[in-house]
Chains A and B, each alone.
Chain A
Amino acid sequence: MAIRLFLLLALTAALFSCCGCGLFDPRNPELPGGGGVPWIPPTEPETLFVNIKNAMEGKIVANYERCFVDTGFVFHPDPADSVDLLSQLQQDVYAGWNLDAELFVAQRIFDEASSLRLTFTKRDTTVLVSAEERIYYYKYELQVLFKVGGAEIFRGLVDYHVRSVGGLWYIYMWLDKRDPDYSLTRTWGNLKGTKR
C-alpha cells in the first residue's frame, strides 16, 4: 500500500511538473509575411479535395496531412504501376503504404517541385456506403514544374474513400488508376512510387 501511494504521488508530481515546466509548450509564431494557404475545416467531404489542392499547390504538408485519417490510411496504386515499379526499382515501393509513407512522399515532391498545379474533375456520381462513409470518383491532372528536369503532367483517375470522424471528414483509402485516354502518361501514383 505504501509503495502504491508513493508511486501515485510520484506520478502525480511528475505529470504536473511535465505539464508545467514547458515541456509541452509550442513556440510562438512570427507575424505573417504572406497570404497563407487557405484551409477549410472538412465538415463536408467535398472540402477535402479543395484542401488537398490547396495543400499541394501551397506545398504545406501539415495541411495535406489533415486530409487523411490518423491511422488505417491505405493507398492502392494502379496495378500496372505496382508491377512496373517492382520490375524497374527491384523493390516493392508500395508495400505498407500508410500515412507516414504518404507524407514522406508528398514532402519529397514538394521539395523537388518549384510549382504544382492540381485539378480535380468529377467523373462519376458519389457512392453512399453509409451515413458516415462515401466514395468519390475524380479525374485529376497534376502539373509539376521540377526544379531540375523540366515539367511533367501526371494524369489519372482516383477513387477517394472518405469517412466522417467526430463531425469532420477524412480520406481513409485512395485508389489510383490509369486514365485510358492517356495510357502513356504517368499517373500521380507512379510519381509517388518513384519518390519513396
Chain B
Amino acid sequence: MDTRFRRPPLMPCLPRPRHRIMFHALTTLAALRKATLPRALACALALFCVSAWTAESRAVSSGAGSDTLSAAERALAFTAAAVSDTTALADSLKAAQDTLKTAKSPAQRMVDSLKALARAEDEAGKVWMGPVRYSTNYTLNRTTSTWNQSLGFEFSARGVSVSTSTSGNIYADTETKSDRRNATAQMAIDFAPTERLSVGLDINTTRHTDKFLGKRYDTDDVGARASYAWEQSKIFTARITATAGSVDETKPTYTAKGTTSALTLDSKYVFPIPCTLRVNASGQLGSKRSNDLATALRTNDQDVNESVRADLGFNPHKSTSVRLGFSRNNRQLQYPLFGSQETWDSKGTLVDASFGVNIKDGLSLSTDARYSDNKVDYAAEKTKSSSYLSKSATTQLSGLTLMGTSITSRFDMENATNVTGAGRNGDVNTRTLSGKVERRLTPLISADAIGNISLAQYFFYDATSIPDERDVYKDGISLGLKLGRTGSRYSGSATVKRDIQKMIYVRPKNSGNSRTNELYSASASFFYKVKSVTFSQMAATTTDYTLFLFTESQNILSRTTSISSTIQVPWGKSSTFRLAHAYRVQDNGPYTTPAGGDSKVYQRSGGSVTEELYLTAAYQFGSDTNFSFGQRFQQSRTFRFLGGRKKWNVGGKVLEFLSDFRLKYALDARSTANFTLSRTNSAFGRSYWNAAASVSREFF
C-alpha cells in the first residue's frame, strides 16, 4: 500500500455549532502559508466574538421565522427535491476540479468593493461591516470525497473598503489514491478620495498540493489599481482603469517571477440624433522571467492582450433598430514548454450588423449578419495552428398571428473555411430552417406543430488523403396537444414525432458507412390532483430504423416502450409518501430482406427489461426541519432470442437496493444545514455509501 495516500479527515463531531464553525475556519486558513496564519487567527477571533454577540438575536429571528407554505406542502417539495438530487452526487468531482477557477476577477472585486463603499456612504460616513459568511460542505460519492470551506467578509470606514475571502478544498479518491488540497486567499482594499477617483490594492494567493504525485503549484500576485470616471454630460461618459502588479509562481516544472500591467477604457457617446456609440478598449502587458527546472532554460516570457470593441446603435424610428459592431483582439502569450519557449499568437476580428423592426402588435422581423476571422499560431507546436473564417446570417420572424394561430420561423446559414496546421483544410457549409405553429383550440386545449430541416456539408481541399467529406441532413416534425393550464387540477399532453437523419459519406473509403436513421415516436403524459393527492403518468413508444445505403445486412430496427407512474399522498399535516414506478422494455434485431422475399422484415434478436420502484417518506418538524427516508429497488436484465424462444442472459442482470436519509435544518433565516446519507446494496456487484453535508452561516 502506498504510504503517501491518506484519507481526508472526516468532519469532527464538535458539540456546539459555533465551535464547529470556528474549527472549520481555522483549518481552512491554516492550510495557507504561514504568512496568512495571523490573519486566520484574527478572523477566527472576530468570528467567535461576533457569534457570541449575535446568539440572542439569532434565537429571536429563528423563532419569528414566518412560513407561508404549509408543513405538508414543504414536505412534498422536499420529497421531490430529494429524488432529483440523486444524480447530483455524481457531480461532486467537478467541485474539486473547479476550485482553482473560483477566484473573482479584479474587475468584479472592484465592483464589490465599490458597492461596499456605496453602502458605507448610506450610513453617512459611519463604519459599515457586512455579514461574515461561512460555508462548508462535505460529499462522499462512492470512492471520492470532497470537503469545501469558504469564509468571507467586508467592511468600510472613512472611504476605505476592505473585502477578503478564503477558501479551502480537500479532494480524495480511494480508487485513484488521489489526495489533493487547494487553498486560496484574496484581499481587496479600496479607497475613493473623490467621487470619480478610486484606488485599490489586491492580494491573491493560491496553493495546490497533490500529495500522491508529490507536486506543488503556488501562485502569489499583488496588484495596485486606479480608476477614474468622467461624466462631462449626459452625452459622454467614460471610465479608465489602470493596474500594475507582480506575480510569483512555483510550479512542478518551472518557477517564474514578473510584472503585470493593464489599461482599460470604457466610453459611451450619445449623439444628439437617436444614435449611440460605445467603445471599449483594453490593453494588458505582462512580463515574467521563467526558469525551466528540467532543462535550466531561462526565458523572458511576454503576455500581451489587446482588444477593442465599438458598437454603433441607431434607432431611426421607435420600432426600428440598426446596429453595427466591430471588434478586434490580439493575444500573444509565451511560456516554457518542454525545454523551449512556446509563443501562442491569437488574432480575431468580428464585424456584425443587425436590423430589427417591430411591424405591429408584436409582429417582428429581425436579421443579423456576422463576419469573423480567427487565427491561432503556435511557434513550437505548429500542428496546433489553425485559422477559421466564417460568414453567417440569421433571419427570424416572430409574433405572426392569423386567425388565432401564431407562427414563428427562423433561418440560419453559415459558410466557413477552416485551415489547420495538420493540413485538414476545407469548408463547412450549414443551413437550418425551423418553424413553429401554435393554436389554442379551446381555453384548455392547445396544439402545436414544430418542424425543422438542416444540412451540414463538409468539403476538404485534399479529398484524396482526407476521405471524410460528408453531408449530414436532418429533418423532423412533431405534433403536440396540451390539455390544462398552469395550476389547474389536471393537465396532459400527447406528442407524435418523426425524425430523419441522413449521414452521407461521399468518398469511397468511407461511403460504406452512409446510412439513414428514421425515428418515430409517440408519447403521452397526464397529471391529476385530488385535494393533496397527486398522480402522474407518462408513456412513450419509439421505433428506430437504421438503414445502411450499401450494406443492407447491417440494418437494425429497435423498439422501446416505457411507462412511468408517480403518486404522492400526504399523511396527516406533516408527512408525505411518494411512490414511483418505471418500466422500460426494449428489443432489437436485423431489418433485412429475407432470401426470396421482396420487402424488409424485422427479426427480433435481443433486448432488455429495466424496472424501478422507489418509495419515499418525508416528514416535516415545525417550520425549519424536514427529513426523508427512501428505498429504491432497481433491476435490469438482458435477453436474446434463440430458435424463437426468449433466453435471459447470464451476467446481464443488475439488481440494486438503495436506502437514503435526508435532513434539512434551517438554523435561522440566514443559516441552513443539509445532510444526506444513502447506501446502495448491489446483488451482483460492489455496495457503497454516498453522503453529503453542508452548512452555511451568516454572522451579524
Q: Which of B580-594 contact A (CB under 8 A)?
A: 582-584, 586, 588
C-alpha spacing A33/B423, complex, angstroms: 23
Question: A83-B210, A87-B251 known; A129 and B90 CB under 8 Å?
Answer: yes
C-alpha spacing A44/B505, complex, angstroms: 25
Q: Are A76 and B97 in contact (CB under 8 A)?
A: yes
Q: Are B638 and A44 in contact (CB under 8 A)?
A: yes
Q: Are B504 and A26 in contact (CB under 8 A)?
A: yes
Q: Are B685 and A131 in contact (CB under 8 A)?
A: no
Q: Is B372 part of the binding interface, using a Cβ–Cβ cutoff of 8 Å?
A: no
Question: A30-B507, A177-B176, A178-B176 known; A63 and B513 CB under 8 Å?
Answer: yes
Q: Are A108 and B638 in contact (CB under 8 A)?
A: no
Binary A-proximity of B557-570 (CB < 8 A = 1, otherwise 0)? 01110101000000
The one of B363, B455, B502, B685 that contacts A126, using a Cβ cutoff of 8 Å: B685
Among B180, B559, B610, the most chain A Cβ lie within 10 Å of the Cβ of: B610
Q: Are A8 and B402 in contact (CB under 8 A)?
A: yes
Give the total number of A-B pairs whose CB atoms are below 8 A apart: 258
Q: Is A132 part of the binding interface, using a Cβ–Cβ cutoff of 8 Å?
A: yes
Note all chain B residues with C-beta closer than 8 A to A157: 175-176
Q: Are B384 and A126 in contact (CB under 8 A)?
A: no
Q: Is A15 part of the binding interface, using a Cβ–Cβ cutoff of 8 Å?
A: yes
Note all chain B residues with C-beta closer than 8 A to A60: 468, 510, 513
Q: Is A82 part of the binding interface, using a Cβ–Cβ cutoff of 8 Å?
A: yes
Q: Is B574 part of the binding interface, using a Cβ–Cβ cutoff of 8 Å?
A: no
C-alpha spacing A141/B219, complex, angstroms: 34
Q: Are A90 and B335 in contact (CB under 8 A)?
A: yes
Give, as a whole number of angstroms, the nearest-CB distance from B457 to chain A.
7
Give, as a whole number of angstroms, the nearest-CB distance from B400 to chain A.
6
Q: Is B509 part of the binding interface, using a Cβ–Cβ cutoff of 8 Å?
A: yes
Q: Which of B240-256 contact A (CB under 8 A)?
A: 249, 251-254
Give, as a whole number of angstroms, the nearest-CB distance from A5 to chain B.
7
Binary B-proximity of A162-182 (CB < 8 A = 1, otherwise 0)? 001011100001010111100
Binary A-proximity of B503-536 (CB < 8 A = 1, otherwise 0)? 1111111111111010101000000000000000
Spot the interface stretch: B59-67, B118-126, B151-159, B544-552. Answer: B544-552
C-alpha spacing A107/B509, complex, angstroms: 17
Q: Is B87 part of the binding interface, using a Cβ–Cβ cutoff of 8 Å?
A: yes
Q: Are A132 and B584 in contact (CB under 8 A)?
A: yes
C-alpha spacing A15/B607, complex, angstroms: 41
Q: Is B96 part of the binding interface, using a Cβ–Cβ cutoff of 8 Å?
A: yes
Note all chain A residues with C-beta closer than 8 A to B584: 131-132, 164
The one of B97, B383, B554 that contacts A82, using a Cβ cutoff of 8 Å: B97
Q: Are A37 and B510 in contact (CB under 8 A)?
A: yes
Q: Are A30 and B90 in contact (CB under 8 A)?
A: no
Note all chain B residues with C-beta closer than 8 A to A29: 504-506, 511, 514, 549-550
Give, as a whole number of angstroms, the nearest-CB distance from B635 to chain A.
8
Give, as a whole number of angstroms, the nearest-CB distance from B110 to chain A.
22
Give, as a whole number of angstroms, the nearest-CB distance from B107 to chain A.
18
C-alpha spacing A80/B686, complex, angstroms: 26
Q: Are B213 and A41 in contact (CB under 8 A)?
A: no
C-alpha spacing A68/B245, complex, angstroms: 44
Q: Is B473 part of the binding interface, using a Cβ–Cβ cutoff of 8 Å?
A: yes
The secondary-structure label for the interface of chain B is strand
Question: A15-B435, A125-B654, A131-B612 known; A39 and B97 CB under 8 Å?
Answer: no
Q: Are B400 and A41 in contact (CB under 8 A)?
A: no
Give, as a whole number of angstroms, the nearest-CB distance from A73 to chain B.
14
Note all chain A residues with C-beta closer than 8 A to B685: 124-126
Of chain B, the residue at the smallest CB distance from A124 is B686
Q: Is B263 part of the binding interface, using a Cβ–Cβ cutoff of 8 Å?
A: no
Question: A34-B512, A108-B422, A167-B542 known; A4 and B90 CB under 8 Å?
Answer: no
Of chain B, the residue at the smallest CB distance from A177 is B176
Give, as a whole number of angstroms, the nearest-CB distance from B656 to chain A.
6
C-alpha spacing A19/B344, complex, angstroms: 44
The one of A8, A83, A124 that contacts B400, using a Cβ cutoff of 8 Å: A8
Q: Is B631 part of the binding interface, using a Cβ–Cβ cutoff of 8 Å?
A: no
Note all chain A residues with C-beta closer than 8 A to B2: 180
Note all chain B residues with C-beta closer than 8 A to A167: 519, 521, 542-544, 558-560, 586
Binary A-proximity of B453-474 (CB < 8 A = 1, otherwise 0)? 1110100000000001011110
Give, as a whole number of angstroms, the nearest-CB distance from B473 to chain A.
4
Note all chain A residues with C-beta closer than 8 A to B55: none
Q: Are A62 and B503 in contact (CB under 8 A)?
A: yes
The one of B87, B457, B509 that contacts A133, using a Cβ cutoff of 8 Å: B87
C-alpha spacing A125/B634, complex, angstroms: 14
C-alpha spacing A179/B177, complex, angstroms: 9
Note all chain A residues with C-beta closer than 8 A to B503: 62, 66
Note all chain B residues with C-beta closer than 8 A to A63: 513
Q: Is B94 part of the binding interface, using a Cβ–Cβ cutoff of 8 Å?
A: yes
The one of A23, A88, A177 that contacts B431, using a Cβ cutoff of 8 Å: A23
The one of B424, B470, B513 that contacts A37, using a Cβ cutoff of 8 Å: B513
C-alpha spacing A132/B483, complex, angstroms: 26
Give, as a whole number of angstroms, the nearest-CB distance from B523 to chain A.
10
Q: Are B636 and A111 in contact (CB under 8 A)?
A: no
Q: Are B515 and A161 in contact (CB under 8 A)?
A: no
Q: Are B634 and A36 in contact (CB under 8 A)?
A: no
Q: Is B259 part of the binding interface, using a Cβ–Cβ cutoff of 8 Å?
A: no
Q: Are A26 and B213 in contact (CB under 8 A)?
A: no
Q: Is B337 part of the binding interface, using a Cβ–Cβ cutoff of 8 Å?
A: yes
The one of B454, B554, B583 that contacts A131, using a Cβ cutoff of 8 Å: B583
Give, as a whole number of angstroms, the nearest-CB distance from B563 to chain A.
10
Q: Are B90 and A32 in contact (CB under 8 A)?
A: no
Note all chain A residues with C-beta closer than 8 A to B607: 43
Q: Are B213 and A129 in contact (CB under 8 A)?
A: no
Q: Are A33 and B612 in contact (CB under 8 A)?
A: no
Q: Are B582 and A43 in contact (CB under 8 A)?
A: no
Q: Is B359 part of the binding interface, using a Cβ–Cβ cutoff of 8 Å?
A: yes
Q: Is B16 part of the binding interface, using a Cβ–Cβ cutoff of 8 Å?
A: no
C-alpha spacing A107/B422, complex, angstroms: 10
Q: Is B171 part of the binding interface, using a Cβ–Cβ cutoff of 8 Å?
A: yes
The one of B93, B100, B634 that contacts A175, using a Cβ cutoff of 8 Å: B93
C-alpha spacing A127/B457, complex, angstroms: 39
Q: Are B333 and A125 in contact (CB under 8 A)?
A: no
Note all chain A residues with C-beta closer than 8 A to B177: 180
Please name 23 pairs of A and B residues whose Cβ atoms are closer than 8 Å in the assembled complex, sorted by A: A3-B359, A4-B400, A4-B401, A5-B402, A7-B363, A25-B455, A26-B457, A26-B471, A29-B505, A29-B514, A34-B509, A37-B513, A41-B546, A41-B556, A43-B558, A79-B171, A83-B217, A86-B100, A124-B685, A128-B612, A131-B584, A167-B543, A183-B212
Residues on B close to A: CB < 8 A?
2, 86-87, 90, 93-94, 96-97, 100-101, 142, 171, 173, 175-178, 180, 208, 210, 212-213, 215, 217, 249, 251-254, 303, 333, 335, 337, 344, 359-360, 363, 383-384, 397, 400-402, 407, 409, 411, 420, 422-424, 431, 433, 435, 453-455, 457, 468, 470-473, 475, 499, 502-515, 517, 519, 521, 542-544, 546, 549-551, 554, 556, 558-560, 562, 564, 582-584, 586, 588, 607-608, 610-612, 634, 636, 638, 654, 656, 680, 682, 684-686
Given contacts A83-B215, A167-B521, 14 further A-B contacts (CB under 8 A): A8-B402, A11-B400, A26-B472, A28-B504, A29-B505, A30-B507, A32-B511, A43-B607, A62-B505, A82-B97, A88-B251, A94-B97, A167-B543, A168-B558
List of 6 A-B pairs having minimum Cβ-Cβ separation, nearest first = A125-B685, A36-B512, A33-B508, A167-B560, A32-B512, A26-B471
